[in-house]
Structures are given as structure tokens and as C-alpha cells.
A and B are shown apart, each in its own frame.
Chain A
Amino acid sequence: MKQANSLALDEEIAQIERASVRAIRARWRLVYALRVGVLVVTLGGWELCGRTGVIDPFFFSMPSQIAHQLWVWMNEGTSQGSLWVQVLVTLEETTLGFLIGSIMGIVCGIALGRNRLLADVFSIYIKIANSVPRVVLGSIFIIALGLGMASKVALAVVMVFFVVFGNAFQGVREADGNLIANAKILGASSRRITYSVVLPSALTWILASLHVSFGFALVGAVVGEFLGSRQGIGLLIATAQGAFNAAGVFAAMIVLAVVALLAEFLLTQLENRLLKWRPVQFSELAH
């Protein structure tokens, strides 16, 4: 009797589970369908407005023109050579700037976070430097470092540094005093505490800042190219602008977006690897 009861209960639970799985799937199908719908309506509306003359395609272009521009760039190359070379140049500047800026930011953030006096002395200057619109420095870098890669990397570094620095500093400050005291009593030296306790504590903060700062590095590199360069996507945009080629500007934008999304994906992978000790959000359904 009891056996039969529990069997019936199992069957009931299994049924409920099947039903809820179906409901979850149906919901996601709806979400995907709506996402595609939004895309179609937006692009279709744009195309329609352009073709019927509601907006002037000369200034605002149309999805079909942009697609055509991309196709031409991919197959016949741009006015300054192959599209892939342009992407590679910009990517190289961005990555270099991102790496140098983040490492400098992390090192300085931890140094100041661990040293009260340094923090009190420098915090005011960092606040000032952070409030200056740093893109303007691009002009200085072009004058000082020339049209080559160095000036773009420098601008990307400046863009990245403050974001990562701010987060690393905050992360160190938020490190749990109990963990530090515990490590101290277990026998860790001051340097050991920095590596084994403070750095892992701050890692959540640092990694969060890396997501944002890759975008900043990209902005730095592109703006640098925009201000003066011989190669790169920024130059592609500047050239398109000079030729009143709106489709070219949009096409370059799409290329940049793809690069940024790929980098975001890689950073998320890195984050998941480094932070695998964090509890998984149980209710997280988003993809």
C-alpha cells in the first residue's frame, strides 16, 4: 500500500516536472520569436523609410546599403587595403592597450588599496585625472608619438587604466578583514596575504571592470585612428565620413560591434574559469 502511494507520488512529481519543462521551453520560444520580431521590424522599418523617402538614405543609409558595403569590403577590400588587415590593426592596438592598462590598473589599485598613506595622498589626484575627458589626450599622443601604433595604444591605456584601477582599489578595500586576520594567524606574511587573500578577494571587482574596459580600449584605439593614422577601422570611418558615405560608417560600426562581442565572450569564459568558486545563481535562467 505504502509502496503504491509513493509510486503515485513519484509519478505526480514527474508529471509536474514535465509540465514545467514544457512551460519553460514555450516561454523561451516566445522570447526568441519576439527578439527576431523586434529585429525585423526595426531593420524593415528603416529600409522602408529609406525607400519611400521618409528619411534620406544619403544621410542615414539603409540596411541593404550597409550589407552591400560590408560585402564589398570583405570581397574587394577597402580603399586602404584588406578589411581583415584593418580589423587586425585595430584589434592589436586595443588588446595591447587593454593589457597594459589593466595590469597597471591592478598593480596600482592593489598598492594604493593596501597602503593607507599612499591612498590618502594620491586619491585626490586620481579623482582629478579621472574627471578630465581623457579622449582629448589622443591629440597629445598623436603629436608626441606620431601616427603609428604607439599613440593609439597609449590612448587605449589611459582609457582602461582608471576603470580597472578604481575597481581594483575598491576590491582591495572591501576585502574581508576576518579573512586577512585569519591568514595572518595561520602564518601568512604580508606579501603572501596580498597574493593569497587580497588579490582573490578583489578579483570579482577586477573582472567586472575588465568587461567595461575592453569597450573603453576599443574606443581609445578607434578615436586614436580617427584623429590620425594610416590604418585601422577608425581610419575607415574617417574616410567614409570624408566621402559622405553613411553606409561605410555604419558598416565599420558593425565590424567593431562584432569584435567587441567576441572579446566579451572570451572575457566571460575567463571569468567563469577564475571565479568557479562562486556560488551558482540557482534561479538564473537567462542565456
Chain B
Amino acid sequence: MNSVLTPRPLVASAGEAGSGGSVGASGPVIELDKVTRRFTSPEGKVIQALRDFSMAVRPGEFCAVVGPTGCGKSTTLGLIAGLARPSAGSVRIDGNPVVGVDPRIGFVFQQDAVFPWHNVLDNVSAGPVFRGASRNEAVEAAREWVRRVGLAGFEAHYPHQLSGGMRKRVALAQTFINRPDILLMDEPFSALDVQTRSLMQDELLQLWSSHRAAVVFVTHDIDEAITLADRVFVLTRGPATVKTVYEIDLARPRVVSEARYAPRFIELSRQIWSDLRDEVTI
């Protein structure tokens, strides 16, 4: 290996990542313990997405997950969200096994998942309405969140009348209005252009800093992962397992457009990329 870029001891092995060693006194809020996830195709063929996958996320911690395409990153989120069950191993939230969709969870999808038949206000108030709040209360809260994501004046617009970035803001408001303690994000900004993406990353960091949810942020963009996260999990190619965990010791609050020029950032980026390269090249 290049002598200048020798990996620092902050690189932990896959086995340690899920164990209690790296976890603070309060205990992990999300815990995946030797999880395996298999899919059975309609023809009965079995595809393995995750194998002996272990990770733990502390309360209020921002974790990013990077890995080669199709390695099973999204599968991980589905398991934590309770949309799917592990084939083996266990997924726990606050120490309790996940049996369904937990109300403390928020999920931001890669594709547009805002309801096209609702206007902005109705989209944002959907969560509270689904959870039994009165319409007035929900709309009141939604107005506040629409304002906070910078969409005041667009309350009556339908999603197709908004730009991709604005739709993402709607999705963020829709998720944050439920005040999730656990925030799962599946390549949420990958469809946006570069400028909009860095604006949205800033926006996300700001929203996150006010409520400090535990975040699992799946991305294929190493720079995005370093910019946002406290820890970056690098996965192997599928069936995925945790290869290395990096502590991102960049100071907060971070400004997205500037953070990427810090020497430490570049060093981390180079390390993670060289780590990931072995998995990508086949």
C-alpha cells in the first residue's frame, strides 16, 4: 500500500462493527446481528442479498453505507424498516426484534414517493393524518414543515408542477413531520443534479441537527457519505457483509460545499475508494 495513505487504526474489522465494542453507554438504537437475507424468485431460485451482516447504530448517529451496486444496501434498509424479515439472524430496534413497521421510523426513498394526486400540503400532512391526527392539526403542522423546507407559497402545487429538488424537499418534509428517531435514506439525492444535491445535503444536515435522529444513509457516492456521516460502513459485493467501518472525524456543523476540500476529507475519500475498488472490480 502507498505509505502516505496507510490506513489509520480507526479502520475496524467487519466482525467488530456489529458488536458492543464500538457502541456507547446508551446502547445501540439499531442493531443488525449476523443477518442473512435470501430472496426466492417465482421459479424457486434463491438469491442471497446479505450474509452474516452485522452493524449497530447509536442514537443520534449519522451512518452512511457505501458499497458496489446491487450488493444489498437497500435490502438492509428494508429490514430495519420492517418491510421485510431476515432469513436468519436478528434485527433489533432499542433491543426489541423488529416485527413490523415501527412508528419511530422515517424513510426517504430513492425514487419519487410523494403522492402525485395530493398537493404539497396534503402530501406533507399525510403522515399525521395516517397516524390519526385531526385534519386541522395535521395541516397546521404541515404548513410549518413546508415553510421549513423552503416551499412556502407552493402549498397548493401538485408534484408534477415542481422540480426534482422541490419534490425531494416535499419528501423530506413528509418524513420529518413524523419526528422520526430513526431515519432511513435510500440514495435519496442520487437522481438530482450536482448543485441541487449539495443544497439538499446542507438542508438535510440542518434538519437533522435540530432533532438528531439516528440515520442510516445508503449511497454509492463516497464523497456524499463522508460529507454527511459520523461513520461510513463499506460493504463487500453481494451477498454483502460489512467490510470496513470508518470514523469520520470532521468537525460539525459541516458546510457541504466546503467540507470536500479539507485535506482530511480527501484523505478519507482516497482510503475508502481504495477499499471499495477491490469490491467493484471483478
Contact = CB atoms under 8 A, between A and B. Distances in A.
Main secondary structure of the interface of A (DSSP, over half): helix
A185 interface: yes
Given A184-B83, A188-B130, A277 B178 contact: no
Contact of B127 (A181, A187, A203, A279): A187
Interface in B67-119: 81, 83, 101, 103, 105-107, 109, 111-119
Nearest to A180: B113
B115 A197 contact: yes
B130 A179 contact: no
What range describes how many residues of A lie at the interface?
Answer: 20 to 34
A178 interface: yes
Given A277-B158, A277-B160, A179 B115 contact: yes
Contact of A185 (B81, B111, B116): B81
A181 B107 contact: yes
Interface residues of B, number: 28
A30 interface: no
B131 interface: yes
Contacts of B54: none
B106 to A, nearest CB: 7
Contact of A277 (B81, B113, B118, B126): B118
B160 A185 contact: no
Nearest to B114: A182
A273 to B, nearest CB: 12
Contacts of B107: 181-182, 185
Interface of A: 176, 178-179, 181-189, 192, 196-197, 200, 203, 277-279
Interface of B: 81, 83, 101, 103, 105-107, 109, 111-119, 126-127, 130-131, 158-161, 174-175, 178
21 contacts: A179-B113, A179-B115, A181-B107, A183-B115, A183-B126, A183-B130, A185-B81, A185-B83, A185-B106, A185-B107, A186-B127, A187-B101, A187-B103, A187-B130, A196-B115, A200-B117, A277-B117, A277-B160, A278-B116, A278-B160, A279-B160
Give the 7 A-B CB pairs with smallest separation, nearest first: A182-B113, A187-B130, A187-B131, A279-B160, A186-B127, A188-B130, A277-B117
